[in-house]
Amino acid sequence: MSVSAAEPVPRVSGRPVAGIEKEILAQLVVALGSKLKKAETVRAGLVHGFIDRKDLVAVATYLKVTLGFEHLACVTAVDWKDRFECVYHIENYYNGCMVEIHADVPYDDPRIASLVPLWNAANFHEREAWDLMGIEFDGHPDLRRILLPDDFKFHPLRKDFAQEVDRQYISRRKIRGGK
Amino acid sequence: MSAPLIPNLFDVCKVLTGAIVWVVQQIIYAVAVLIPPLRGLGDWLGSDPVITILTWLIAVTVIVVWATLVNLLTMMWVERKLYSRLQDRYGIMISIWSLPFWPFNRVRRPTHRGTGYLQNVADGVKLLQKENITPRNADAAMFHISPVLIASSTLMIFAALPWSSGFYVANLPLGILFILAAFSLAPLGILIAGWSANNKYTLVGGLRAAAMLMAYEIPMILAVIALVFFTGSLDPIEIVRQQDRVLFALGPIGIPAWYAFTPQFLGFLVFSVAMMAEMERIPFDIPEAEAELVEGWTTEYSGMRFGLVFGFKWLRMIAGAALIAILYLGGWSGPVFATLDVGGIPVPILPEEVWFLLKIYLISAVFVWISWSVPRVRIDQILNIGWKRLIPYSLLAILVAAGFRVLG
Amino acid sequence: MPGFWINMGPQHPMTHGLWNMKVQVDGETITDARPEIGYLHRGYEKIMEVREFQKNVVLTDRLCYVSSITWSHAYCLAVEKMMGIEVPVRGQWIRVVSLELQRIASHLMWLASYGPDLGFLTGLLWALRERELFLDLIQLMSGARMNQNYPRVGGVRNDLPENFAAMCQRSIEHFLLKMEEYEKVFHDSKVFHMRTEGVGLLSAADAINWGVTGPNLRACGVNVDLRRLDPYETYEEIDFEPQVWHDGGAGDSYARFVVRFNELRESCKIVLQALEKMPKAGAYRAKPPRRAEGEGYAKTEDSRGEALFYVIGDGDDRPYRVKIRSPVFSTMAATPLILRGNKLADVVAILGSVDVCVGEMDK
């Protein structure tokens, strides 16, 4: 059974608040200060933030507890060819604003803090990032493979894992030496 | 009011046996011209004990063939067609025109658009030619014996179930008790099947079946007890004879004295619901629930073992509907509108067998209709209904019956 | 005795897709549950890095094969946000029509599979019969019944046929009549209430914490519908009501059922309104650039929840990274929470009401 059945249902209006992204940006800049390496509003309802990976939990806690960003939509792992990057999409149900947090993770130490203590939604997403990309999340209760078989040895989404080299279907024209 | 078509099964079968024995005797006498000692064999074949035993064998075979080959196939066809039409589709359609040889392979007629009566035969043949798999760590003896137990206990019911006042194998004075007891043997077979297959699904299914069937036999028997206050006997033929009179006349139509119209109405409802549970029909088919447990307690059976177990569910439905008809709906009583004169023997146009079959199929049609219109009930809710609702209602039915008996 | 683990799946007639749910039972009560997914993992995110932007629509169709237009549309929206192009107005309206028709078809597929979960096999055939109406409409519109390859980066593939509004009107009128039959069979059935009320409770706080979105979240009482909260296409101009379960209490299976059932009616309303309000002629497709650089995300209200695509381009004519966020993936993490404390016989009923589609879960 669901544990916290005593907490009230959050009263959301279900409508977006116009211009909220500027407010959120301002609040973030004020509260986080130097932790925020770069922040900008890209379009209505979207704020980008670039942080260092060791400040992740602090930023996330501030977003959830103080600003009311209750929904962690997605945890993405990107493999730029010289570093990893974790992208977190966090959404606010009260005003419809989305904050996109980018945190760089170096190749030689692919670890970052886990957000499972804050949002349980991160559980499966971080397992998928570990499974496909190989980034370890410190503090994750059960970090094991989720989509691939348990004894699979590689992390396929990395750029050094071979992309499909040969198409399975080779046309007869190509076999005869054509294009 | 009505008359049976077969006044006495034993006599009819005796005629048949006499004919067969006479033919065999003639063959043996013809051979005995060459080998004289065979004459004695021929004479022995015509003697009374042999003919009696052969007659009993043929009578039992006739009843079994009637119940399984004719009624079972027809009941399966009726159910499959009826629920298909409920679901807005045609239903089973393989019939004799689907056979690939002359004279059935008509070139221009679509092969799979017949009435579908032979589809069940086709399904049986399909199951016969499948491999009988026994799971590796299963209790092989119990695993093999449980379909036999279920099938034989179901067929035992038909030893005591009369199809009219003459068409029966044995008329026991405690016939209803025997039939209910034979019904109750099958849960044992189901439990053995569930346990011996070494499979968690079948175990859960078998235990659920045992719990449910045990819970629903009690209201069934209590409803019959309430009935006995009125009938005073457990003999099915006697019970039907008592319902054969007119209760009151409603204009030109005389309402017959069926026990369903009397204060036994509550017992009728309780018995019907309990019988639906005993037959493991939706909404009570949780032991065999496809959704959760693949096939429930029949999961590990393949080939004809599965066919036996699966097909005999319909046979139990026929037996259950027959029981309801005998006890509450007047059995085979009904007006015979005219009689034909066939060589001095008055043959009724609508004999008792026809009325009985009509009632059985109507009751089964209602059961099929209910089955395919409601979701299934969960096991703990089923047990709730059985223990906490049906038993008090059946006790109330007993009180009502006793009250009416005392008041006259 | 300590409970023993039962495998519901991967081969199971009623789990609607290839995944495994291990439940630990103590008698008939569930004490723990562990979903095991990945049986249908096809390596989508890796493949999409080697196909051109437009050719990926064929792949995203097959992510959730029951509800393909909504998934391809989410991908196209993300790519358009990345490229910065704008879809013409008539294209947006046509997209709305196609999305809602696909949503109705997907919900009818859910209804068709939910009946047999509870043992009501007639519901399968009735709902599939109604779904044929909408598959015919989708075929008229896009040329195929499933996996249509209909949305394009920049619009849709082709315009609506003539008389489409009249055909939709006729089908929807017939469908609304049939909905009343369904109400009698589902809502007025005591056995159905017995099976679904109070079963599979999920509180709103837990739902938001575990990332449950879509009809499952609205069944817990939270008024979040991405078509209203973050409108895309022309949803702002359409008058419809997001269906939220207002009766209080945690969301049980009955609430999830009612929310999805009522969404069928709302989608019908949206389709008819959109066909009325759309401009009668105009461009329906903008030409996207071949190469693109940047990043873009789009989140849409899929039939099962919030579908989010995050596309990164690095100047090539293929994406550099595509991230697919599937609503069923997040809801699957919450299933142990929903299942604990219920009976074994309820597993399939609860999971049916949660509406699992394995294709999008396993990518």
Q: What tokens were used for B357?
A: 């079959």
Percent of chain C with pLDDT over 90: 44
What is d(CA B223, CA B240) in angstroms, rounded to the nearest whole number?
17
What is d(CA C122, CA B86) in angstroms, rounded to the nearest whole number?
7
What is d(CA B196, CA C54) in angstroms, rounded to the nearest whole number?
57
Chain A interface includes C43 (CB < 8 A):
yes
Low-confidence ranges of chain B (pLDDT < 50): none
Q: Which of A74, A51, A76, A75 is nearest to A62 (CA)?
A: A51
- Cis omega (within 30 of 0) for bond into B283: yes
A148: left (phi over 0), alpha (psi -120 to 50) or beta: beta
What is d(CA C277, CA B120) in angstroms, rounded to the nearest whole number?
55
Chain B interface includes C39 (CB < 8 A):
no
Question: What are the tens digits of pLDDT across the range C322-340?
Answer: 999 999 999 999 999 899 8
Q: Do C191 and B377 touch (CB under 8 A)?
A: yes
**For residue B86, how far is the Cα from the chain centroid?**
24
Question: What are the tens digits of pLDDT across the range C15-29?
Answer: 678 888 888 888 778
pLDDT at residue C361 is higher than 80: yes
Domains and CATH numbers, chain C: 4-362 (1.10.645.10)
In 10 A of CB C257, how many CB atoms? 24
Residue of chain C nearest B368, judged by CA positions: C122
Question: What are the tens digits of pLDDT across the range B152-189?
Answer: 999 999 988 998 888 888 888 999 999 999 988 888 88
Residue in this structure with the two tokens 């299934």, named with its chain if needed: B376
DSSP letter string, B50-77:
HHHHHHHHHHHHHHHIIIIIIIIHHHHH
Strands A98-106 and A83-91: antiparallel
Q: What tokens were used for B112?
A: 């799979």
Chains B and C touch (3+ CB pairs under 8 A): yes
DSSP letter string, C221-246:
T----HHHHS--TTGGGS--------
DSSP state of C63: T
Residue C349: enclosing H or E segment and its boundaries? helix C347-354
Burial A85-121 (b: 16+ CB within 10 A, else e): bbbbbbbbbbbbbbbbbbbbbeeeebebbbbbebbbb
Q: Which of A165, A159, A133 is nearest to A147 (CA)?
A: A133
Residue B112: enclosing H or E segment and its boundaries? none
Looking at residue C240, what is its pLDDT?
87
Chain C interface includes B10 (CB < 8 A):
no
Q: Which of A85, A108, C348 is nearest to B378 (CA)?
A: C348
Residue C155 β-bridge partners: C152, C285
One-letter amino acid identity for B391?
I
Return the biggest CA–CA distance within chain A: 72
Residue B248 β-bridge partners: B255
Looking at residue B127, what is its pLDDT?
92
DSSP state of A102: E
What is d(CA A90, CA C208) in angstroms, rounded to the nearest whole number?
12
* Residues whose CB falls within 8 Å of the CB of residue B406, separated by 6 or more in sequence, listed in order: none
> Are the beta carbons of A108 and A92 closer than 8 angstroms?
no
The arithmetic mean of pLDDT across residues C203-227, rounded, is 89
Q: What tokens were used for B334?
A: 């009904």
Chain A interface includes C41 (CB < 8 A):
yes
The side-by-side arrangement of strands in the sheet containing C293-302 is: C293-302, C305-314, C319-325
- The closest CB to that of B291, out of C4, C117, C194, belongs to C117
* Residues whose CB falls within 8 Å of the CB of residue B134, separated by 6 or more in sequence, listed in order: B140, B143, B144
> Are the beta carbons of C41 and C363 closer than 8 angstroms?
yes
pLDDT category of residue C262 using cuts at 50, 70 and 90: very high
**Chains within contact range of chain C (3+ C-beta pairs < 8 Å):** A, B
Give the 3-state secondary structure of residue B135. coil
Give the 3-state secondary structure of residue A89. strand
Residue in this structure with the two tokens 């004075």, named with its chain if needed: B173
How long is chain B?
408
φ/ψ (deg, to 5) at B32: -70, -10
Q: In angstroms, what separates the C-alpha of A9 from chain C's closest C-alpha?
A: 6
Helices (H), chain A: 20-32, 56-61, 122-133, 172-175
Q: What angle do CA C17, C23, C26 make, to 5 degrees?
A: 150
Q: Which of C51, C55, C156 is nearest to C102 (CA)?
A: C156
Helices (H), B33-139: 38-45, 48-64, 73-86, 119-128
| ipTM for the whole predicted complex goes beyond 0.95 | no
What is d(CA C73, CA C75) in angstroms, rounded to the nearest whole number?
5
Probe site for chain B from C120, C133, C350 (most B CB atoms < 10 A):
C120
φ/ψ (deg, to 5) at C330: -75, -35
Residue in this structure with the two tokens 């499933």, named with its chain if needed: C146
One-letter amino acid identity for B232?
G
CA distances to B123, B129, B204, B259, C216 from B126, in Å: 5, 5, 28, 43, 44
Give the 3-state secondary structure of residue C105. helix
What is d(CA C71, CA C59) in angstroms, rounded to the nearest whole number?
10
> Are the beta carbons of B239 and B231 closer than 8 angstroms?
yes
Chain A interface includes C230 (CB < 8 A):
yes
- The closest CB to that of C223, out of A14, A72, A76, belongs to A14
Question: What are the tens digits of pLDDT across the range B66-115?
Answer: 888 899 999 999 999 999 999 988 888 888 877 777 777 766 666 677 78
What is d(CA C148, CA C135) in angstroms, rounded to the nearest whole number?
11
Looking at residue B103, what is its pLDDT?
78
Looking at residue B255, what is its pLDDT?
75
Dihedral over alpha carbons C79, C80, C83, C84 (to 10 degrees): -150
pLDDT category of residue C307 using cuts at 50, 70 and 90: very high
> Are the beta carbons of C246 and C283 closer than 8 angstroms?
no
In 10 A of CB C101, how many CB atoms? 24
The arithmetic mean of pLDDT across residues C58-79, rounded, is 92
DSSP state of B98: G
Q: Which of B95, B97, B104 is nearest to B77 (CA)?
A: B95
pLDDT category of residue C221 using cuts at 50, 70 and 90: confident
φ/ψ (deg, to 5) at B171: -110, 95
Residue C308 β-bridge partners: C299, C325
Residue of chain B nearest C188, judged by CA positions: B374
CA distances to B25, B34, B57, B374, C37 from B44, in Å: 10, 18, 18, 61, 75
Chain A residues 119-178 with CB within 8 Å of chain C: 119-121, 123-125, 128, 132, 145-149, 156-157, 161, 163-164
In 10 A of CB A72, how many CB atoms? 26
Q: Which of C45, C51, C63 is nearest to A128 (CA)?
A: C45
What is d(CA B51, CA B59) in angstroms, rounded to the nearest whole number?
12
Looking at residue A1, what is its pLDDT?
44
Chain B interface includes C223 (CB < 8 A):
no
Looking at residue A7, what is its pLDDT?
55
> Are the beta carbons of A115 and A75 closer than 8 angstroms?
yes
What is d(CA B268, CA B273) in angstroms, rounded to the nearest whole number?
9
The arithmetic mean of pLDDT across residues C236-240, rounded, is 88
pLDDT at residue A3 is higher than 50: no
Question: What are the tens digits of pLDDT across the range C312-324?
Answer: 998 888 899 999 9
- Of B102-116, C184-198, C244-258, C343-357, which range is least confident? B102-116
What is d(CA B154, CA B186) in angstroms, rounded to the nearest whole number?
7
Looking at residue A2, what is its pLDDT?
45
pLDDT at residue A35 is higher than 80: no
Strands A46-51 and A98-106: parallel
Q: What tokens were used for C9?
A: 């799946």
Chain B interface includes C132 (CB < 8 A):
no
Q: What is the mean pLDDT of chain C?
A: 89
Percent of chain C with pLDDT over 70: 98
Domains and CATH numbers, chain A: 20-175 (3.30.460.80)
Q: Do C119 and B376 touch (CB under 8 A)?
A: yes
pLDDT category of residue A167 using cuts at 50, 70 and 90: low
> Are the beta carbons of B325 and B239 closer than 8 angstroms?
no
Percent of chain B with pLDDT over 90: 24
Looking at residue B167, what is its pLDDT?
86
> Are the beta carbons of C35 and C19 closer than 8 angstroms?
yes
What is d(CA C182, CA B380) in angstroms, rounded to the nearest whole number?
27
